[in-house]
Chain A
Amino acid sequence: MTVSAIEFTRLGPPKLRLHAMRCTSCDTLHPWWERFFCYSCGGTELVEQELEGKGELTNYTVVYYPPRDFLGQEPYVVGHITMDEGVLMPAPVVDVPADEVEVGTRVRATLRRMKLGHEGDVYYGQKFVVDETS
């Protein structure tokens, strides 16, 4: 559940762009939520780095019992995507039947609606589709 349109101010905008966090001390790329502490080197200065959008599905599951905000979309695939830049990105993989997904499939990021917030604020975010070009 989302809290309020106030919370959207912080939470919503960063999700419009596909990005990871890079530690300025050791250059390791971390998923986008690691804004505070680098577990590779203990560094505390991390900056946003935009990603190209392409990667490979290295693990996935199929959700049959969704949380409330995802009702109507089940069954849906949630994957662990290893981006070409090397960082692991968890995200849904859409527009492909669940039984046609395999580890190793190339995917690319796109923008989709994530949820209609508690106060009618609309969250968008990153989902992935099969990359037809590769």
Chain B
Amino acid sequence: MRVGVLGIGKTPHKIQHQKSLRDLIVEAGTKAMDDAGVAPRDIQALYLGNAASPGFNYENSTGLMGAHHLGIVPSPAVRVEAACGTGAWALHLGCVAILSGLYDTVMVLGAEKMNDLATVEGTSVIAQAADSKEEYFSGLTFPSGVALTARKYMQVYGLSEEDLAHTSVKNHYYGARNPYAHLRFECTVEEVMRSAKVADPLKLFEVCPMTDASSALVLCREEILRDQPDKPQVYVTATQMGTGTWYAASDTLDDAYNLLAKPAQKAYQMAGISSADIDVAEIYNSFAIQEPLGVEALGFAEQGEGWKGAADGSTWMDGPTAVNLSGGLLCKGHPLGATGATQAVDVVEQLRGTAPPDMQRADAANGISACRGGPGSVAAIHVYQRLEG
């Protein structure tokens, strides 16, 4: 498959009290249309990913709101929701729309505004993505659910908290260089270890902040982008999705691996490449432990060794596969519905060569984004390639 990426756009990722959810949506969508060189009337469908506006903003039909204020009316629009995998699901639907032949040009957009509520209330809204009536009823939160996975991983592979701390060090190194990131400071292993406990063993520098942001892409039929050779020839060449258990209690380490590994294997096949061909990867890491798990599932390391790349340099910018050169969700934050779309935008920037120089991988031609969601329930893998000629 080849779906053309005609344009991309994103807002800064941070707390933005002056901007409402619709302000963010219009900002990202407009930037993407301008980058694509299209007008709102050219967008034939809008897939707007937003995970929790009923909870965070008391607004339900975010897709309809986006369509109106972006000027996309009368083209169809819908709100897409799949917990933390929302943005990637919007991307999947955008690809499916193009591949179906029903649409030539669509917009994929992800947006979330988390900071109109206080953190303690926001935490409860986020928990509604899991089973807040049963499993999460008795005091479990997303950080604590993931903390249980982290402890299991350390137990099974005999690792220390210091071993896992390197992931935060790498993400913060690049986050400090990303003008769009929420957290822009470097840190050392010692500083990670000293940071405040959130849900033991996870510490503050191992969990993402609550962020307001939006990101968007304009996708088109392959021929439309081919016919504009002056535009960067970046295409989505695979989209593979899956689900897993909705319960942290049933999420074993093998489940966590298979959740991403199975669609990843299919995605490599679909794109006609292997994991060794990947130059840059954006791997979902709202909590640091998820990066090693994703590195393993995508085939960049053996199970139990995914954490090493951050320590030995192999997942840094010049290593075999650079992971999270954007600073990852640890630094960009995890605006739930925007994340999957932001990952796509960030990979595309790498393949275009337009990221800031100190976080731009040289000659990046093949990229992958891995997004996940829920306690262990959503998997979304996309492969992107720069195709000359």
Contact = CB atoms under 8 A, between A and B. Distances in A.
Direct contact of A and B (CB under 8 A): yes
Contact of B152 (A59, A69, A126): A59
A61 B144 contact: yes
A47 interface: no
Nearest to B147: A61
Nearest to A98: B200
- List 10 tightest A-B contacts by C-beta distance, closest first: A61-B147, A62-B200, A33-B134, A67-B124, A70-B139, A61-B144, A90-B249, A63-B144, A61-B199, A92-B139
Nearest to A77: B200
Interface in B128-170: 128, 131, 133-135, 137-141, 143-144, 147-148, 151-152, 155
Given A62-B199, A65-B119, A78-B144, A88 B137 contact: no
Dominant secondary structure at the B interface: helix
A4 interface: no
A92 B120 contact: no
B249 A88 contact: yes
A17 interface: no
Question: Size range of the interface on B?
Answer: 35 or more
Among A66, A73, A88: residue with most chain B CB under 10 A: A66
Interface string A14-57: 01000000000000000111000001000000000000000000
Contact of A59 (B135, B148, B245, B247): B148
Contacts of A11: 133
A65 B138 contact: no
Contacts of B121: 68
Nearest to A99: B200
Nearest to B245: A39
A114 B138 contact: yes
A64 B207 CA distance: 13
A86 to B, nearest CB: 13
Contact of A125 (B138, B140, B196, B249): B138
Given A63-B141, A63-B144, A65-B198, A88 B250 contact: yes
Contacts of A126: 138
